[in-house]
Structure formats: C-alpha cells, structure tokens
Amino acid sequence: MSPSSSPWLRRRLPRRGSVAARSALLMTALAAVFVAGCTDEGGTTRSGAAEGKSTASAPLDASFPPSPPATAGCTGKMLDHRDIRHPDLGPVRVFLVRRPASDEPAGCVAAVTGSGRALAPVEVDANWSMKDPLRFAAPATDSTKNLFVIYNPGRYDGVLVLVPTADGFADIGWRSPEEYYSGGRLAFYYARPVGPGRDGEYAIVQYIKGCDPSCAEGATAKVTLRWDGHDYLPTG
C-alpha cells in the first residue's frame, strides 16, 4: 500500500484545495530543512566552514588595493597579484611590479596586509625582453606557506622564495647590492620549482655549472633542494 492510499493519512492530510493548509505544510518543510542545514552532527554544515573553521576555499576577509600603495616601495606597472593567507599576518596581497626603465633592479615584489600595512619590498632583476620574466609559480604557494616567484634576469629562470615571518617575509639575502639575481639565501638562479609533491611541498631543482676546464666547457650538475623548515638544502 502506498503512503498516500492509507485511510489514516487521508483523514489527516488537508485537502489539496486548501491554500492555508498547503502553506502550513510548506513552512513545516522549510523549517525542517533549515534545522538540518544548521546541525553540527551528521548534517550539512554552513558553506565555507567545517567544525567552526574556515576552509581553504573560503574568501579572504580583507579589502585590498588594486595596485601597490606608494608606501610599498614598488613604483611601476603592476603585472600580477596573488592573495594569500599569511600564517602570522592573515590576508596579504602580493604584487609583481615592473619598474620604469630608469630604475634598477627592474623587478619588485610588493605586499600589503589586510589592514593596509605595506611590507618590505623584495627587489629582483628581470629582463623584459624575455617572455614572462617575472611571474608567480602555479600554484603560488605550497603546504609550507612559502610563496614562489619565477624570475629571469636574461638567460635562465630563477626561483625567488618568500618565506613568511612574524613581520612579513624573510630577507632574501642577496650577495651584493649590485646583484639581484643570484647568490641569495632564498633566491636560486638557474632553477625551477618542481611539484608540489605528495607532501604538498615544492622541491627546487637547481643547475650548477662548473668552470673546469673553463666556464664555457664545464659540466652542469643538477641538485634537488628541499625545505627543512628553515632553508632549502640538497637532498640525496
């Protein structure tokens, strides 16, 4: 017997022609759906939340400027930006900037917090005659929360790693103020990011050219670097 053919139900269900009765049934059903949607156990949770915590797909709760403010120290043409969630500062927008031809170095990475505070800029050489000489890796961040920027000063790509600190990002550690493409603690010239792997992290593959018997004839070695929590160190 179908539920609708039950004499007991027929006595209790209102007639189809009763508008008030149909409205009452509709309100009852909506109330049931609302209660089910708000339950914390066994039901559907609110969009963008699970166990009271925001998910990775939740939008950043900040309003950012479309280009770096003057206080960011990166004047020029804004090329691209990414919004990230900094582990200490919360929402942060990171900009890639092409500086005017008269300024050196040619590239600049600016960042602004959700409160509008500009972080210290990161300067890097980039050759605009190359294709996409300053761009974000895809994805820009990995499970370490580090942010990866690919740059090309004129021949080979390099990888710039922005490591979050309590005040912003760690100092790249360029070797000299005249050279903004190699020798930095967190900048790897003639290199590329690989991954992210199963652990959610990028590895950095760097090529090191020897100069024996000469730099033109020297062999090239490949080194894989992995994050140890403080630095990218060779593996194997």
For 144-164, the pLDDT digits (tens) are 999 999 999 999 999 999 999
Residue 210 — pLDDT band, cuts 50, 70, 90? Answer: confident
- Upstream peptide bond of 100 is cis (omega within 30 degrees of 0): no
Mean pLDDT of the chain: 79
Q: What is the DSSP letter of 213?
A: S
Tokens read off for 226: 């992995």
Q: What is the mean pLDDT of residues 164-186?
A: 90
Please state, as a whole number, how many other Cβ atoms lie within 10 Å of the Cβ of residue 14: 12
Residue 102 — pLDDT band, cuts 50, 70, 90? Answer: confident
Would you say residue 43 has pLDDT above 70? Answer: no
Instruction: State pTM to two decimals.
Output: 0.73
Q: How far is Cα of residue 90 from the mean position of the Cα atoms in its chain?
A: 12
Q: What is the mean pLDDT of residues 134-145?
A: 97
Q: What percent of the chain has pLDDT over 70?
A: 74
Please state, as a whole number, how many other Cβ atoms lie within 10 Å of the Cβ of residue 65: 14
Write down the number of H helices and E strands in the chain.
Answer: 2, 16
Quick one: pLDDT at residue 61? 66
Residue 51 — pLDDT band, cuts 50, 70, 90? Answer: very low
| Separation in Å, CA 104 to CA 78, 79, 112, 136, 157 | 16, 17, 22, 21, 19
Neighbouring residues of 202: CB distance < 8 A, sequence distance ≥ 6: 137, 142, 144, 146, 148, 193, 194, 195, 196, 227
Q: From edge to edge, which strands make up the β-sheet containing 134-141?
A: 134-141, 147-151, 158-162, 187-189
The runs of H, that is alpha helices, within 148-224 are: none
| Separation in Å, CA 68 to CA 90, 111, 112, 138 | 18, 7, 7, 22
Quick one: pLDDT at residue 32? 40
Residue 60 — pLDDT band, cuts 50, 70, 90? Answer: low
Would you say residue 83 has pLDDT above 50? Answer: yes
Longest CA–CA span in the chain (Å) reads 100
Would you say residue 143 has pLDDT above 60? Answer: yes
